[in-house]
Amino acid sequence: MNVASFLLPKAEVAYLRDSMTLRQGLEKLRRSGFTAIPVIDVEDRYVGVISEGDFLWYILLHNQNLDEITLKSLEHMTVRDILQCGKVNPACIDTTMESLLEKAKRQNFVPVIDDRNVFIGIVKRSDIIRYFVNGSK
């Protein structure tokens, strides 16, 4: 079975740009309703995945006095500043379903890229599990 059959295309996926401010990123993440979403650069290349925890830990580590944290103060840093590259490795469009299953053990979705590292969408863990439960048809 081809990964493309399970692909949720980029146009239907919530994602952040690495150049967004922390405030913009937090607001978009909150609106998405997800706890983690992909991050791409200005040329649509996959950069990584960022989670609520990444924002929280960065804010806590870089603000000794938590009483002074405001949304305004989060406008001076970018998503790129807190992104942990390599934390969630993407899959190529020609990846096998078995490899996708391995990646999905550690994350709720698998980012998918083309041969130029351009982000093209995600495959949800629930779709991968459904594929294997239904007998790999």
Give 73-105 pLDDT, tens digit per residue.
Answer: 677 789 998 887 667 889 999 999 899 999 888
- How far is it, in rounded angstroms, from Cα 12 to Cα 56? 26
Q: Which of 53, 60, 2, 47 is nearest to 20 (CA)?
A: 47
How high is the mean pLDDT of the chain? 88
pLDDT of residue 88: 86
pLDDT of residue 61: 76
Q: What is the widest separation between alpha-carbon atoms in the chain?
A: 56
pLDDT band at 107 (very low <50, low <70, confident <90, very high): confident
130: Cα separation from own chain's centroid? 21
Nearest 10 degrees: CA dihedral of 112, 115, 118, 119? -10
- Strand 36-40 and strand 91-92: pairing? unpaired
1: Cα separation from own chain's centroid? 24
Q: Which amino acid is at 55?
A: F
Q: Which amino acid is at 51?
A: S
> pLDDT by residue (tens digit) across 24-48?
999 999 999 999 999 999 999 999 9
CB 38 within 8 A of CB 17: no
- How far is it, in rounded angstroms, from Cα 26 to Cα 31? 9
* Range 52-60 average pLDDT: 86
